Structure 1
Amino acid sequence: MKQSLTVLIFLAFFSIIGCANEEKATETIYVAAASDLYHALTEIGEEFAKETNIDVEFTFGSTGLLTQQILEGAPFDLFAAAHESYIDQLNESGAIVLDSKQVYAIGRNVLVYSEEHTQLEGEQSLTDSDVQTIAIANPEHAPYGKAAKETLESWGLWEELQDKLVYAENIRQAYQYVESGNADAGIVALALMNDSERPYELIDERTHNQIVQALGIPSTSENLELSQQFAEYMMSEKGREILSEYGFEAP
């Protein structure tokens, strides 16, 4: 009888521990992130989950559209924007937690041609008659698209190339247009090129305003402690190492 009682106590104890661990493992934070971060932040999220048992669910999109969603009360726990100006905008409107802004990286753009046009190189090739379509993210709400426009203006090609430009909803979609061959060329984020076999040319950052990327914690977050924990992980040595692997420069 004593032995049976002891077994039952042990079973009950491990059941309680198991439930506690399960509850801890199901903690989740919801992160809105600029689409240039798709590969890097997915990897950071996986590493963070391994170390903390906190899952991270991402919503990737253009920084401008995500900013609008947060202004309208979207329940995100953290926002990693492609430019700090959008975090500043949210800060001014009270839509992010005071003093939660942190600059986490400097982004870079590249010029890339589709598989059928890999023999081309240099910005002047964009005027080639074989190049019919050039993909960039929409400059109205995508920081990388705005930088692409500034670069084309710096090259003196913005007006000349108007009929060739195809505006993608975000920078990852612009990359996909080129990768799939639906666009002959594109100006896209360096951070998206890791899995591509296309040769590319790093664009001189003096041709556009610096892409200073920042994060903030939306005021609607109900997981402030966990959000801060993930923000700190992004800024940690491990987080910066992963960002660097994808071409992001330290601020």
Structure 2
Amino acid sequence: MKIGKKPEVVYCDFIDDEEYNRFSYEEMIRILREGIIARKIGRYIFGISVMILFLCFKPAGALIVIILFAEFEALDMIYERKFHGDNFKLRNIRRGNGALYLNKVYDDCRVENFYDDDINKNYVLGMVKRRLAKNIYDNDYTEPAYVNNILKSLFMEPEEISTSPDIKELDIVTLYVFYAIFSKNEDYVGNIRNVVLRMKLYVGQYSKLWRDYFDYFLQVIDSYQWKKELEINKKKDMILLYDCWANIPGKYRNTLLYVKNKIDDYINQI
């Protein structure tokens, strides 16, 4: 079976940055579509093969395979708005929205329009998170227009930022705290401090856990600005490694691990 020009697309919807200069936008969309279709076909072939084996040697097991396969497809549909499963991706590609799934932004305004659509909001936030992580990894603190504008809209209403670990808004706050510190940009640091303070006041009234969490961020920021010592546990875990499965190819996960280690090293030096 022909998988496509880029096998990694089949496994994790990911195309290396250096490949973008080799293909046109239309070709990239075609490669992405082929990869998603190949993944779906591969899943069906594997499921049907296992079911046939069970039918031959242990018929009762075939029913379990069917149930598990149906459950997997059901989860894909249930979570498609949140994580954009394969079926949802293919529908969006057919509608001309395939740019949402490329690891490169061709049009900032178009991404912002995607963000304005609630169905795509969480996925676009994943793009913002990946960009912030990549910038920290590359030691590059220039924000693309779409990142800057989406962050502004997000930080204007900190009360809307979710405190659920599987939603990316909070990951972005976590990343941006250290993005601002590592950039040594006082405007960035001041802006994120205001965001964290407002989140502490809003969320802290309901949960001591989250109040302590945002207290930790405030202490880290104050330590940077005024050389204060941390008063609470330096080993508090960050939430950086949470993400949807489709956004965790090896290269991206390595980037997140690098950023996490960079943060840990910084905290240990305070």
Bigger-Rg structure (1/2) = 1
Which fold has the larger relative contact order, with Cα–Cα distance below 8 Å and residues 6 or more apart in sequence?
A: 1
Same fold, TM-score > 0.5, yes or no: no
Q: Bin the TM-score by the shorter chain.
A: under 0.3
TM value normalised by structure 1: 0.22
More strand, by proportion: 1
